Amino acid sequence: MAPSRNVLVIGGGAAGNALTILLRRSGVAVDLVEARQDWNATAGSGITLQGNALRVLRDLGVWEQISASGYGFGSVGITAPDGTVLHVQDDLRTGGDDLPATVGMQRPQLQQALIDAVRASGATVRLGTTATIVGQDDDGVTVRLSDGHQARYDLVVAADGLNSATRAAIGISDKPEPTGMAIWRVAAPRPRGVTRTDLAYGGPAYIAGYCPTSEDTLYAYVVEANRDRATIPPETYADEMVRLASAYGGHWPEITKTITDPAQVNYTWFDRMLVEGSWHRGRVVLIGDAAHCCPPTLAQGAAMSLEDALVLSELLTANSTWDDTLLNAYYERRIGRVRAVVEASVQLGQWQLDQVRDADVPGLMARTMSQLQERP
């Protein structure tokens, strides 16, 4: 690979940060632009990271931080709405036997571990900055940054999330579509007895669940049919979540009494999108949620985004010619695996929306997750 190669990464979420770290390791010059001045360092409640995500995070060199600040576990409990445990299922170790099946984490802790690694990688980071593609040819892309800086890159990577402006700018018209569900999420203190994810199906919501994210914390969530956001004033968010969560037993009463601050409660619709055909136009290529997104029914969105970064960096650093053939190879290596995850994640939600009672939920989950044991 030519040592003078340079790449612009647009977006500093899991995908963009991971790609930056991996490319810098191979000596590629990387500029990372991130729209938010705070780099999303304090945003979000919790995240469930399964083995295949942990495997990439270990490759990135941040496993020590993840392991120290997260909460590892190896099973999921299925409960009745009253909290009675109906079934405990062992999670598959999709990242291999030397990693936990699952780690719950506070999102800011994950983001901080990646930010620290990007900073240490020597990439140039511009916060509060966006990028406009001015033009491109067979050799590269000319970009104007919102700070007035103009530069030329061998490759531009759109890691700017599910509403990617870069995706639209290169003529890919796919957009996220609502699946019909929405989720209320909050970070809360961890009751001592919560040592794994428990999911209650039924009751007033489709799913009520929680996931431990550290010795002291968890994140709790309730999934219901989506509603017009304009009809839910943000100052009522805590009341709305408490109204739904109050119907659940087990550890829920202890969790629910801590849900008091509406500013800490997040309300998000579930979306789906899968760009088909190819994930690039010329020298601009999509990774992560910019290329695909799905409801978190398998907790695989960030995992797929991290895997995209890993595969793209492997191809870019192993090949001296960065052309259509290489970027098509990236798409071909990713599409089957990502499609299986997106379709299964959407199906799991759709069965609930359609109130299908005899759906093979464990079978679909097991089939999909077992495919993820193989390296991407």
Ligand X SMILES: Cc1cc2nc3c(=O)[nH]c(=O)nc-3n(C[C@H](O)[C@H](O)[C@H](O)COP(=O)(O)OP(=O)(O)OC[C@H]3O[C@@H](n4cnc5c(N)ncnc54)[C@H](O)[C@@H]3O)c2cc1C
Residues that bind ligand X (CB under 6 A): 10-16, 33-36, 40, 47-48, 53, 130-131, 159-161, 165, 183, 268, 288-289, 296, 299-303, 305
Please, which residue, 104 or 250, has the CB nearer to ligand X?
104
**Closest distance to ligand X from the beta carbon of 3 (Å):** 27
Helices 51-59 and 301-318: crossing angle in degrees, nearest 10, is 40
Please, which residue, 154 or 289, has the CB nearer to ligand X?
289
Look-up of token digits 């001592």: 192
Please, which residue, 1 or 127, has the CB nearer to ligand X?
127
Eight-state DSSP code of residue 146: T
Could you tell me which of 39, 160, 194, 28 has the C-alpha nearest to residue 110?
39
Alpha-carbon distance of 328 to 156, in angstroms, equals: 15
Please, which residue, 125 or 238, has the CB nearer to ligand X?
125
Alpha-carbon 35 to chain mean position: 18
Alpha-carbon distance of 251 to 81, in angstroms, equals: 11
Please, which residue, 70 or 250, has the CB nearer to ligand X?
70
The answer to whether the beta carbons of residues 124 and 30 sit under 8 Å apart is yes
Please, which residue, 200 or 273, has the CB nearer to ligand X?
273
Helices 361-371 and 324-353: crossing angle in degrees, nearest 10, is 160
Alpha-carbon distance of 53 to 16, in angstroms, equals: 15
Look-up of token digits 């997104």: 293
**Closest distance to ligand X from the beta carbon of 2 (Å):** 26
Q: At 226, phi and psi to the nearest 5?
A: -70, 150
**Closest distance to ligand X from the beta carbon of 135 (Å):** 18
Please, which residue, 11 or 108, has the CB nearer to ligand X?
11
Please, which residue, 228 or 358, has the CB nearer to ligand X?
228
Alpha-carbon distance of 55 to 35, in angstroms, equals: 28
**Closest distance to ligand X from the beta carbon of 99 (Å):** 15
The answer to whether the beta carbons of residues 40 and 128 sit under 8 Å apart is no
**Closest distance to ligand X from the beta carbon of 36 (Å):** 4
**Closest distance to ligand X from the beta carbon of 252 (Å):** 19
**Closest distance to ligand X from the beta carbon of 306 (Å):** 8
**Closest distance to ligand X from the beta carbon of 248 (Å):** 19
Q: % helix / strand / coil in the chain, to the nearest 5?
A: 35, 30, 35
Alpha-carbon distance of 374 to 93, in angstroms, equals: 11
